[in-house]
Structure 1
């Protein structure tokens, strides 16, 4: 596959396109989850010490890109439109960018005046074909002069490097799925929710599912046997076999349906990381026997299900 980003200029628009060898829902996840965004946003060598991303219509975002020289380039704006798994539109405001950068871009564009003339609107489109996802960026500027100034300033190079980082740092291996979430709760409380044999069934499972435990032996080599029932009454048998346990740090288990055939089994690794202000990040990695099996569960709704489960956990902890 050609991994180069293609750029074209249209009326007041810079259009950049790039393909990724991953299902659309997975690419959408690394574009809309701030814990993934901070790994890849910005050119090579840049980091993102601040990523605030209230992904809803009317919600605000603020991403502080820090250059290798330590210069911060804050990008701020609001989400104007969101069509899940198709597109979203965000304003891109430069009012916090360094004055030197503003003057340089204005010079390239041959314009003067208030820095707000450099503000733009970005539409991000996602198109999937045979589990290859094309991302299309359509950035609309105030006029063609400003469009050309941004094009000359290294816009293609910057996005190309960001996309390379997205592929190498944010997208998981072809047979893996990674879900991350930040909790406003201390690590011992978050970790204990996974060890509590009585209360775990009150939050485990996607929205609308109920979980009933048949037996649970929370230890290395132990098993948790349970059933999940969907809103339409369909029963899903589950068996978890614990392989590694490190208190307040790490869990590892094999997750299957309990059938004699291991075809549905997959390995789960969960890291618990304490953060400032008594916050905790959960990183959940699911490892499948092949890319095909990973893609099947992604298309079936595994990403949405995992986020709904962790949201139910957050609600449980808040109560």
Structure 2
């Protein structure tokens, strides 16, 4: 396992904790989460793009996005769109972002049938590097299982790999 591999664990049957160290200063990693032009370059698993990315990055603001599969090799996923809408609850720059992320439609109507995720993203300074700790809380163990069964670990691993690649390009 590389030193920058993502670590994951489940706490209390309903909290998914994800951690990864990025070889970039905290302010730079944080900026990747707050600016739509950067998010469009790395958000989503490999083969997926972010053609829609509307954001009001402030407490009480939102992030409405569409991920679209552009990789023909992903067979039945090719051309698929996955919409989401998040609502920012707390922002402490450059330390923390707290938001609730929902599945949504293209108009931003949230899908109450699918699990919502309360995400607390902590950006920890580590001698010029950044440890990102995401705590993803669900209403129940069943909701967390639904998300894990959808391939969340692989998707987030690929997403954070893309983030790391973008950070390296910026050096």
Please, which of 56, 59, 64 is the counterpart of residue 58 of structure 2?
Answer: 56
Give, in angstroms, the shift of residue 91 of structure 1. Answer: 1.0
Matched residues in 1 for 2:97 and 2:41: separation?
20
Q: Superposed, which structure 2 residues align to 1:29-178 within 5 Å?
A: 29-68=31-70, 69-96=78-105, 115-116=113-114, 118-174=115-171
Alignment gaps of 5+ in structure 1 = 103-113, 175-319
After superposition, what is the alpha-carbon deviation per residue over 1:66-99, rounded to whole angstroms, capped at 9, x for unaligned?
Answer: 01311110110210111111101111111328xx
Give, in angstroms, the shift of residue 145 of structure 1. Answer: 1.3
Whether the 8 Å CA contact 1:93–1:119 is kept in 2: the answer is: yes
Give, in angstroms, the shift of residue 152 of structure 1. Answer: 2.6
Whether the 8 Å CA contact 2:40–2:50 is kept in 1: the answer is: yes
Q: Any idea what SS the aligned residue of 1:35 has?
A: helix
What is the total number of aligned residue pairs between the two structures? 158
Alignment gaps of 5+ in structure 2 = 71-77
Q: Superposed, which structure 2 residues align to 1:9-48 within 5 Å?
A: 9-11=10-12, 12-48=14-50
**Residue number in structure 1 paired with 2:74:** none
Matched residues in 1 for 2:152 and 2:62: separation?
23
Give, in angstroms, the shift of residue 7 of structure 1. Answer: 0.6
**Residue number in structure 2 paired with 1:247:** none
Matched residues in 1 for 2:104 and 2:85: separation?
8
**Larger RCO: 1 or 2 (CA < 8 Å, sep 6+):** 2
Give, in angstroms, the shift of residue 153 of structure 1. Answer: 2.0
Give, in angstroms, the shift of residue 62 of structure 1. Answer: 0.6
Whether the 8 Å CA contact 1:5–1:156 is kept in 2: the answer is: no
Q: TM-score, normalised by structure 1?
A: 0.47
Structure 1 moving runs of 4+ over 3 Å = 170-173
Bigger Rg over Cα: 1
Whether the 8 Å CA contact 2:48–2:68 is kept in 1: the answer is: yes
Q: Given the superposition, is the C-alpha separation of residues 170 and 72 from structure 1 closer, same or farther in structure 2, using an over 3 Å criterion?
A: farther
